[in-house]
Amino acid sequence: MGVMVLPGLAIFQAPAPAPTNYKFLEDCATKIGACGSEIYTSVFEHGSVSDKCCTKLVFTGKSCHDQLVKYLLSKPGFGGNESETLAKSEDIWDHCVSLSPACSPSF
């Protein structure tokens, strides 16, 4: 018994993107609440995050922040520079952590 491989007939599919956990994202957005628009403006446009919203962001958690930003970056209408936006998002997170008196490294 033999196996013959014909390279021209091989079909390779790119792996499907990981499914989005919409429930997790909804929970994150709910936790951030009214500060969401302020944080969005700071990450995707030009603005700053107030101390109050920084505290809310930090206590919502890094995973929430990162996943919400990545989700918004994945939307077809995003026309910015992804690496710059991710760097800005990280800077905002670091700034907010520095303002929060009782933050844990697990954020």
pLDDT for 35-44, tens place per residue? 999 999 999 9
- 14 within some domain: no
pLDDT band at residue 32 using 50, 70 and 90 as cut-offs: very high
- 64 within some domain: yes
pTM of the model: 0.73
Query: Can you spell out the DSSP letters for 41-91?
Result: HHHHSS----HHHHHHHHHH-HHHHHHHHHHHHHSTT--S-HHHHHHHHHH
- 60 within some domain: yes
Q: Which domain holds residue 92?
A: 21-99
Hey, how many other C-beta atoms are within 10 angstroms of the C-beta on 42?
23
In one-letter notation, the amino acid at residue 47 is: G
- 74 within some domain: yes
